[in-house]
Structure 1
Amino acid sequence: MERKCIALVAHDARKRDLITWIGAHLRSLSGHIFYATGTTGGRVKEAFPDLDVTPLKSGPLGGDQQIGAMIAEGRVDLLVFFVDPMTAQPHDVDVKALTRLATLYNVPFACNEATADMVVSSPLFTDSYRPRPVDFRSYEGRQL
């Protein structure tokens, strides 16, 4: 099995849901590498001390941007971001930037439990699947 780099983010109201989801899929997730925004990463490490989790800064303090940079550098294989659609987020622009980068760089992105279930249940999750790389040459070579 190829170790995947999985980024974990959860809004405050969804952190418990993410922990529950990880527990339900622990067998599939064990052995992979995780990066998580601040509090989320701390809670994941506390609940699952055997997982390889690196906590980053809290989302509002730059953690979303750290994960976004990792996506832009090709270092993230999957983004699991349990979003709370019922609460306004003070750092909404950061959240939008992160989701934009996942979309731009063709990184699988699960924003809810059902999608995350589908991703880790897919045979592609255990294979050495690589999404089609995005070709930015026409954009980068455009005439200004």
Structure 2
Amino acid sequence: MPRGDHVYVRRRHYSHHGIDCGDGTVIHFARVRRAFREVERRVERTSLEGFARGRRVRVRTYRTRLPIEQIIRNAESKLGARGYSLVRNNCEHLATWATTGSPSSGQVRRWAVFAPGALASASIVDGGLHVLLVTLGMALLAVVRLPRVR
């Protein structure tokens, strides 16, 4: 894979994304274990093998993207950053922003479209109005225009 590629691996229920640095490393939101099983997510540079965890690494293609050196600079500028959010600032947002200058997540958009209907059905049967309202609120957050990653 060439330097600056937006790479991803498919995991059980989602895809994990990062930027290939061209030297056998990937910049991505990594899970960092702390004391007493506490897990923190921050942007790190890890080995390609560590990123892939035995899965096939794929490349996301773009019609237009930033120059390779800018993509790498963007990704490196986030090293050590925290502030992970599944809906507003995840690994796909990071990789898309580094590549195009604009953060987005197709996974979040798909989830926002399909999950409310599925959960609405379950919550009506179960009487879980709270779950329905929280889900609809998260869906709204996912489809509004997201601010630039800083």
Give TM-score, length-normalised by structure 2.
0.27
| Larger fraction in strand | 2
Q: Which has the higher contact order (CA 8 A, sep 6+)?
A: 1
Give TM-score, length-normalised by structure 1.
0.28
**Higher-Rg member (1/2):** 2
